[in-house]
Amino acid sequence: MSTVELTTENFDEVVQGPDGKNFVFIDFWAGWCGPCLRFAPVYEKASERHPDLIFAKVDTEAQQELSEAFEIRSIPTLAIIREGVLVFAQPGALPEQVLEDLIAKARALDMDEVRAKAKADAGAEPQA
């Protein structure tokens, strides 16, 4: 599967899907960014190897609102949203094997545990 261009208009549809269970990798990039351009073929190959996952790209220049919502400060940045939960976000171009390892780890997540931890963290008292 090729990558999907993610915009503010199609964000909910792509990320949530019909049942709220979509598993989405998002590459935040820009055309002027050398590391972004070097990462693009690695990301595209991963999308072809994993057709059951959604691989989306956000052009940070054209989609500034999405970039701001994700607090993107450095590109490329890779984010993973699984079942509506942001489970990973990190700047930097990843080598192919590191991306494959990350995909495997994201697949292995117990989403019930992730949601329980997120709920507990949201209810925790802020540290002084």
Kindly report, residue by residue over 33-63, the tens digit of the pLDDT. Answer: 999 999 999 999 999 999 999 999 999 999 9
Q: Is 33 among the residues known to form the active site?
A: yes
Pick out the chain residues at pLDDT < 50: none
Q: Is 36 among the residues known to form the active site?
A: yes
Predicted local confidence at residue 41, as pLDDT? 96
Of 24, 36, 42, 56, catalytic: 36
Instruction: Record the pTM.
Output: 0.90
Q: Domain limits of the chain? A: 4-123
Of 14, 24, 26, 33, catalytic: 33
Residue 85 host element (H or E): strand 85-91
CATH class of the domain whose range is 4-123: alpha beta
Percent of the chain with pLDDT over 90: 81
Nearest to 32 by CA among 59, 1, 56, 58: 59
